[in-house]
Amino acid sequence: MAPILVTGAAGFVGFHVCQKLLRQGENVVGVDNLNHYYDPTLKDARLAQLTPEPQFSFHRGDLADRPQLESIFQQSQCDRVIHLAAQAGVRYSIENPHVYGDSNLTGFLNILECCRQQKIKHLVFASSSSVYGGNTKVPFAVEDAVDRPVSLYAATKRANELMAYTYGHLYQLAATGLRFFTVYGPWGRPDMAYFSFTKAILAGKPIAVFNQGQMERDFTYIDDVVEGVIRVLHHPPEMNPDPAHLSPAQSDPAVPFKLYNIGNHQPIALLRFIEVLETCLGCTAIKEFLPMQSGDVVKTYADVSALMNDVGFCPDTSIEEGLSRFVAWYRDYYPV
């Protein structure tokens, strides 16, 4: 079988996706630039779990380097691409905007061009729930208007969706965008709140609780996200489906392009999330209540009906189970 190329292979979601693909017997080509946005030793440790696998090969590369990326595509001879590499973080985008232009815009354009040139059968790429921006209607559905991003990160993710749609229109490149909702779990990103909360609580230090704790998030466990990614990979969008059975995920029957939410569809109050984390840790958090941060939103809530209708799956891991697994991993990885 032709290999599957996974960008961001040393990242949180990318690492788990590669693991599952390898367990399923797929050949996987991983790409990552191993940048220093957060502790690179964690990325190295994830990669060390993958490199012993004979069906896995790895290229260290930057998506903004077009000649290098073209060479990786040509060498790999892949026929499907899961694009998970991006500059993440809402608040970081306010302080470092040009990084997002290089990675999320130029890098994504290079991915699209390589997919077009190599006649890739299906591109699956990570978008974000942040594209819903200032929307107040909940739950967020894929057919909702997304023209009010409140961070540059969100704007780049929406731009990715539009760019992919355009390549579907112009070149019939089959592409599917996945709007992830607050992914958490073992091997996660240290810049995410649940990770930094855990570190601070165990050290007896205060945690910053923004908007006075009046926040809700659709926390989605990593295994559910991975299952959604791989199911969608096996269901590339097609042109001209029966209009009578057109999914909300594909608003234009003439373009092989779809969008899905991948979220737990059960928003949890931030204070409840912290309470469950305290139980798992056996420690009480010292909470420092602060105002809302720029670029943040009060509530996220996924409508996953399109995902369920098209691929028969919706995330359902409870925060009690998910946080318990995360804490067990954390205590093992960081001897505490």
Question: What are the catalytic residues?
Answer: 153
Q: What is the 3-state secondary structure (H, E, C) of the chain?
A: CCCEEEECCCCHHHHHHHHHHHHCCCCEEEEECCCCCCCHHHHHHHHHHHCCCCCEEEEECCCCCHHHHHHHHHHHCCCEEEECCCCCCHHHHHHCHHHHHHHHHHHHHHHHHHHHHCCCCEEEEEEEHHHHCCCCCCCECCCCCCCCCCCHHHHHHHHHHHHHHHHHHHHCCCEEEEEECCEECCCCCCCCHHHHHHHHHHCCCEEEEHHHHCCEECCEEHHHHHHHHHHHHCCCCCCCCCHHHCCCCCCCCCCCEEEEEECCCCCEEHHHHHHHHHHHHCCCCEEEECCCCCCCCCECCECCHHHHHHHCCCCCCCHHHHHHHHHHHHHHHCCC
